[in-house]
Amino acid sequence: MVDGVGVGRSPGSLRRILVPLALAQFICSFAGSNMNVMITDISHDLNTTVHGVQIAITVFLLVMAALMIPGGKLTDRWGRKRCFTIGLVIYGIGALMSAVAPGLGVLILGNSILEGVGTALLIPPVYILTTMLFDNVTSRARAFGLITGMGGVGAAAGPLIGGLITTAISWRAAFVFQAMIIALIVWLSRAIVDPVAPDPGRPFDTAGAVLSAAGLVIFVMGVLSADNNFVLMAVLLVLGGVLLSLFFVHIRARERRGEEPLLSTGLFRNRTSNLGLVTQNVQWLVLMGTAFVVSAYLQVVRGYNAIETGVIFTAATAGILASSLAAERLAKKYAQRTLIMSGFGTTIAGIAVLLALVKGSPSAWAFAPGLLFIGLGLGVMLTPSVNVVQSAFPESLQGEISGLSRCISNLGSSLGTAVAGTILVSSLGKTSYAAAMIVLAVIAFIGLGAATRLPAKQAQPT
């Protein structure tokens, strides 16, 4: 690479490659939040409950998290472009299946399972390709700014776009919309060429993949069962923790035998990367937790329809879009730690405004100022958090760190919906709404604490 761009590639060709990559991140983030405004419509149409829709949303995010590490590892064996394309096809099939789902079971199969698997295959290549093609902080910040910005906009605009489609046509049409975007991405990605040849003979740690995926799934399902059965919750949390512990014992044993593990334990020895992963997890936890809590409260308690709920979220969308578009300019002027700390501070202020202005207010627009602050804060720190983690390792480890990074982010998304959503649906009302938002604020303070411990200037990977 030369001057931040890939050898033999013009800036124009790189920009064209970034378009399908950014669109892929947009549609996957959109899928994680657009169902929030369809809670009432889906529950009535499929004869289910708010908790049933919450499970479908959480399982989608959880499948992404559980399979993101194996998905990142497979890019080395199958190739980044091939994984990207296969993931798009599986995702598209899941979207079409969801559009015609006769019940919650088929919706979970199409949306939660197939779309989740497709996302786990297509997202790691997005970040690996971007890291390989852009090798300095400024150019990489610009590229990640576009991709993570589109991801943030997808998550924040999901309620608005989903609300518009649901009100004008049907919630099923929102899944047809996803399939159409997937088809467009497949067509636009024809120009993408894998910068590194795949290695079909590279070993794959199947046992590690099973242990890590099962541990994450069981742990989060334990959180989801908190409002139904305390004993079941405790059992699932302990079992999930045991499986994850066995996973780390397993990969350590493979390393000692000289075999390639699913995930190198060396990835966890980088203090800067570890702190960056914490900030990523918290950012998406707060974003998706807020989206579910506010959406469910507006629809179930306040009685707003899909479009009315989606319109309120334009404030968060505008905030994320504005701050993400400024990512390159901000990266030149401020240290990444400063941006992440500022983002958390603004997000916490937004949660405080949501709690203060919404209390006793009959207007749904009382949610707008708080959502705007949260959008601005998240948009400011999404890009530097990704850059901190990806830039901490050389190209030889990009497949692994990309999978781990996306796993941690999507785990945050699923935990946000599971934790905050479980608190909310336990007794839908103002008290449970306030309790859920306070929990999200406390978690945001944890992210801020991790950000303060990041180095002022990041060293180059070795």
- Which whole-number Å values give the CA distances from 129 to 24, 47, 124, in the listed order? 13, 43, 9
Complete DSSP assignment for 167-199: HHT-HHHHHHHHHHHHHHHHHHGGG---SS---
Q: What is the pLDDT of residue 13?
A: 67
Residue 384 has pLDDT above 90, yes or no: no
Nearest-CA neighbor of 18 among 130, 164, 169, 151?
130
The sign of the dihedral angle between the CA atoms of 341, 346, 350, 353 is positive
Share of the chain above pLDDT 90, in %: 27
What's CA 369's distance to the chain center, in Å?
Answer: 24
Looking at the chain, how many residues does it have?
462
pLDDT band (50, 70, 90) for residue 136: low
pTM: 0.76
pLDDT, tens only, 403-454? 788 778 878 877 887 777 777 766 655 677 888 889 999 999 999 999 999 9
Side-chain half-sphere CA neighbours of 17 within 13 A: 27
Question: Rounded to whole angstroms, how far apart are CA atoms 86 and 74?
Answer: 12
- Contact residues for 221 (Cβ-Cβ < 8 A; gap 6+): 62, 236, 240
CATH class of 11-194+262-452: mainly alpha
**CB count, 10 Å around CB of 180?**
13
Residue 3 has pLDDT above 50, yes or no: no
The domain spans of the chain are: 11-194+262-452, 205-261
Burial 100-113 (b: 16+ CB within 10 A, else e): ebeebeebbebbbb
Question: Rounded to whole angstroms, how far apart are CA atoms 16 and 27?
Answer: 18
Nearest-CA neighbor of 312 among 424, 169, 157?
157
Please name the residue that has the structure tokens 């529950």: 43
Residue 250 has pLDDT above 90, yes or no: yes
pLDDT band (50, 70, 90) for residue 55: confident
User: Average pLDDT for residues 351-374, to the nearest whole number?
Assistant: 80
Q: What is the pLDDT of residue 173?
A: 94
Q: What is the pLDDT of residue 4?
A: 42
